[in-house]
Amino acid sequence: MEEHKAEWKPFFYPDPEDGDPDPPTWDEIQILQEFVERYGTANAVPVDDAAHRFMSLRNEDDLIQERQSQAVDKGERVSWLLWDAAIEMPNYQPAVLRLVEAIRALPDLDRTEEQVRTSRFQDRLEDWRNLAVFKDIWEETHDPLRIPVFALEQEPWKHGPVPLPPPSPSLLQRHNLTDVHAMVPFFEIAGSIIFKFVGKKDLTLAEANKKPDLNLWKGDSSFSKERWDFWKERLQWISEQNELMERTRDDAQKLVEIMHSIEQQTREKNSAL
């Protein structure tokens, strides 16, 4: 329990002198912590309830007065909290992304009767509910297609700045560990959307960090069906490497199954048209 508390403490820095005039509140951190830590368990917090409480504006006027700053912005504040939590603790990414979905589906944000009567925050409600800042951060810094391009299209043991010797068990154990695990929540939640980009997206920017001499993908820069199939082949290879951690192999196999399922669903949907 103390260990869980400790990993969340860095997110709480209430002193504006720390450089952020509008850091996340402890209530926001606790609501997020409770939801992501219990996500997928028998004691899971209902996602609609967590979204409702997380985005409540009932205390926002008091916070503005307390911080004496026009920089107070609910949408930007929680967007950065969600992003930071997802990046710092990748195991919580599926829960964070599920919460983002639920927030965007809210019919309205919780306000006091007085706030409703005076139309308080009315001009910002839509952007806050849609987490517009989170969307901007996501698109600018973390295109999900960069992960499979980097992880699956290069020699597995030569990702470092200096070419490494042939693979050893210890190197293979590190191979794709973070990348494969990071791909799972993206493909679980947005895999069908990613698949819709097949034949429509160029991956030149996503290829920027690849080393040409280590490149395994011999096709052009387009996101083709052949490239999608190549990713499946590489993931299948990863799932069969006994030197890797079991979780890494399991996640690779899970991704292969997700990708096959997406293809099947797409075929069924197209045949029904």
What pLDDT band is residue 126 in, cutting at 50, 70 and 90?
A: very high
pLDDT over 90, % of the chain: 46
Is residue 127 pLDDT above 90, yes or no? yes
pLDDT over 70, % of the chain: 85
What pLDDT band is residue 121 in, cutting at 50, 70 and 90?
A: very high
In order of 75, 128, 176, 211, 264, the CA distances from 71 in angstroms are: 11, 14, 40, 42, 48
Q: Is the pTM of this model over 0.85?
A: no
What pLDDT band is residue 39 in, cutting at 50, 70 and 90?
A: very high
State which amino acid sits at residue 241.
Answer: Q
What lies within 8 Å, CB to CB, of 250 at 6+ separation is: 239
Could you state, in order of their start, the residue ranges of all structural domains in the chain? 7-141, 146-271
In contact, 38 and 91? CB cutoff 8 Å: no
What lies within 8 Å, CB to CB, of 175 at 6+ separation is: 156, 157, 159, 167, 238, 241, 244
What lies within 8 Å, CB to CB, of 177 at 6+ separation is: 244, 245, 248
DSSP secondary-structure letter at 162?
A: S
**Tell me, what's the pLDDT at 159?**
39
Mean predicted confidence (pLDDT) in 34-56:
97
Tens of pLDDT, residue by residue over 135-186, are 877 766 656 687 788 888 887 644 334 444 444 444 444 444 567 887 887 7
Token pair for residue 130? Answer: 């849609």
